[in-house]
Amino acid sequence: MIYALLMLPILLPQDTDQTHEKLLKHTYAELEKTQQEDGRWIAPKETPESLGDRGMTALAMFVLTAAGNTHRHGGLQDRMKKGLGFLLEAPDEDGAPRSDADRAFEAMIMAELYAVTRDFTIKRPALLAMQNLLKRQKEDGGFGKGILETCLASMAMESCRNAEFPVELGKSKERVLEYLTGMIGPGGLRFTEKIEPMHPLGAAAAVYLGRRYAFPYENDNSLREDALQKFLKDQMTHVTYPAEDPRGAYFIGYGLMFIQSKGAFDAFASAQDEWIAKGKRSPDLAGRLYEALAMQVRDRHKLNR
């Protein structure tokens, strides 16, 4: 999932928007400045997905990896190495319980790093992180508080599959698929108001992505899937960029890239540019990292056109 993004620093077109590029560079500089001595990044006190320092560290590494860095390559490999060291060696913060989002990001980044570098010192911890995440799946097939954590868990499962880890994912993916399918109604999502901590369109995109990664190679032409894709494409042409919900913005951009609707994606990019021009950023670092991920998705989309 991240591997294609590793080529971004080499392949990006020379006319990349300067404001866009400046904001990404500012984010990378902020990560350099805020990393702690033990390698962690400190999570904000409250986030929608209840991130702790381990999840925050994995999220920061996710952004740096998408910018072309691993713990073995790239201009920020030292930052990556320190972050990975924290994930591999540090105990849970004060014995506090970890959220499903923490576990999903941790399993995802280690699986992706292993897939790219084949560093066998990561394999066993990554495999254990994935196994611990799967143990957290609820009876209804979801994770954590709902759509957001379930989508992240589904993405982590796909990272595990890409890394060729010997973990049985079939039943867990089927349960994720059943849970997320239950969120879809005849006209898109079965919710009409803001749900959970997410913008409705962001939630719809997370449902789409979670389903896609739960069954990525299945030719699913069900009416429910068609309805969700139509909802995303139709609504995106009218939506204002959800600056108050950077998580939703990331899922929207990522989902539209896979749906391959040029009109909808261009509308998303235009709305994002308008927001960037206002000079506004999320008030907390976790939100700013999701904003960076949304921008990186746009860069990846340019390569795919």
Give the chain's domains with CATH numbers.
Answer: 3-304 (1.50.10.20)
pTM: 0.86
* pLDDT value of position 212: 82
How would you class 29 by CB atoms within 10 Å of its CB: exposed for 0-12, middle for 13-18, buried for 19 or more? exposed
Looking at residue 36, its amino acid is Q
147: helix, coil or strand? helix
* Region for 288 from its dihedrals, namely left if φ exceeds 0, alpha if ψ lies in -120 to 50, beta otherwise: alpha
Q: What angle do CA 276, 21, 148 make, to 5 degrees?
A: 60
Report yes or no: 90 and 56 within 8 Å, Cβ to Cβ. Answer: no
Low-confidence stretches of the chain (pLDDT beneath 50): 1-16, 93-95, 192-194, 219, 221, 223, 303
How would you class 215 by CB atoms within 10 Å of its CB: exposed for 0-12, middle for 13-18, buried for 19 or more? middle
H or E element at residue 99: none
Nearest one of 298, 305, 303, 290 to 27, comparing CA atoms = 290
Handedness of CA 55, 60, 64, 70 (dihedral sign): negative
Report yes or no: 162 and 1 within 8 Å, Cβ to Cβ. Answer: yes
The per-residue pLDDT for range 127-145, each reduced to its tens digit, is: 989 998 999 999 999 999 8
